[in-house]
Structure 1
Amino acid sequence: MKIVFMGTPSFALPALNSLFLSKNTICSVYTQNPKKSGRGKKINRSAVHIFADKNNIKVRTPQKLTTNIDATYIKKLKADLCVVAAYGLILPESVLNAPLLGCINIHASLLPRWRGAAPIQRSILAGDKETGITIMKMNKFLDSGNILSQVKTKITSKTNFSELESNLSSIGAKELMKILDQLPQKRIKEIKQEDKLATYAKKLDKIEGKIDWSKSAKFIDCQVRAFSFYPGAWTIFKSKRLKVLSGSIINQTNPKGKIVDNLFTIGCGEFSYRPEVVQLEGKKAMNVLEFLRGTELQINYTLE
């Protein structure tokens, strides 16, 4: 099949690579436009953009998809299908209908749970025991199209965002290839989503990373694991921001927000929490024992 691929971050790479190695033809790649970052305002291409350039695939980076330009372009390509994976832009109905077989999306949750922009982080933050990949037929509404396939995977008490994203992206790539084998023959039974069961994974806000020590240790642990990549779970330690990258729940009752021992155990609303990997503002990430060797720790100091 002739396929247009739309994706941006590393989550999309396994699916794109699988398509590239298959008998299908990637006739064009859409990705978000390069962003400037850092002091030198260096232009950074997305992971998908870099892959496409390396493999001589045509790349388009519109700020917005339009009927006149993009739907017309896809029709001229005579594309059979558009595959979308964490693209980050809304597809207008004209673009959804431009390929012969429409558009399908690789979504990182078990729809209708966690429709929206941040399903991986929201599933960990909510303490879900499982999540998965949904391959769905796209329509004009947010992540509400008919389900073509779903694969489940467990979320353990140690699973963080990066681990789960990597796992789900691999599952998505494998499931995509199975679907592509069946799609032209229309051998797939589509399942309509139950809208009444839908939950929404809203976009992440940096302020959500601020740790509230009056919350339970279980919630804080979920927060640390969900936000381990971005925006990071953090607290204020001696007037500086301290990111907590991993840690463990300690079955002790201690005053909220207080450091109670030399192992950096901190009291929470329910039980306590002990950071294991931290990153002080302006410093590299380090094991908490290494961090403690370089700082004067005051027992009963209250974190902000």
Structure 2
Amino acid sequence: MKKNLLLTFCLLLLNIHLNAQWQSPVSLDNLNTWSSKSGFISWYNHTNNGPKAAAYGNGLQLALSGDERFGAQIVIPTFTDQLLFRRKSADAWNGWNEVWHSGNLEPLNFMQKKVATIKDALSVNDFKNGYTFAYATSGTPWNGALMSFGGLNGNYDCQFSTDYGPGGGSRISFRTQNGDSNTVLWNPWNELYHAGNINKADISLVCKDLLANGNLWAKEIQVASNNPWPDYVFEPAYEKLSLTELESFVKINKRLPEIPSATEVMKDGINVGDMNAKLLKKIEELTLYVIELKHEVDNLKKDTKQK
């Protein structure tokens, strides 16, 4: 079998040689030079459209029989063990591609399927640089695909665990490994939220800051407030502005006291809890003004009747 393959390859090279435009390698000043025929090529002391910025090399140029606008180049830079190729399509060259071989392919640098499944207790903690199917008994949150990658010196890996169906088929969790101490520790699993699970009734979110550049829809929102609720307005010792003072303030500032201006709101927004407290305070003050006016009206009515 090997002899037949070798003979076939030799015949192919012989056929190319006999039908080539050049019977010996021709040095090209630019590898994009296209003669519309197959042949041996080389380049010397330049990097014009060559691969990997290599200044020297040899190779083959192949043209498509019947339509010589299409073809390919296969080259080997002189001072490396790299084999590279690219193709030409309708007068335009595509990028260079490197061929992997035993001299440049290191399996440990690539993720691989190491075992079909893992299921033993805590076996997920020892699974590194690969992918497999993991049962939850191994220590993953879900039954499904498991991927482990990264890992400086094998001590800082990241793992993703996915649910293939029993949990709804839309769950995915991740965790990281902390290798700073002598004892390498796995951090807890965290579930990712997305369109497939964020609306579930059993999901509770706790976060410090939530930024929404758009509409926020909710059936109920409860806002905690650190400011005192303004029931103190109804305390006898509370002093509010007189209506005359309030009128003067509004004419000058075009807003109510303690309420931010339109310019401030446009720039900084509002604190919902704080604003609700301020608005309630104004309503309570307004209630006191109405009560006072009611007393004044009643007194006026009383004086009118006495006259």
TM-score bucket of the superposed structures, by smaller chain: under 0.3
Structure exhibiting the larger radius of gyration computed from Cα positions: 2
Q: Give the TM-score of the pair, scaled to structure 1.
A: 0.21
**Greater RCO (CA < 8 Å, at least 6 residues apart):** 1
Q: Give the TM-score of the pair, scaled to structure 2.
A: 0.21
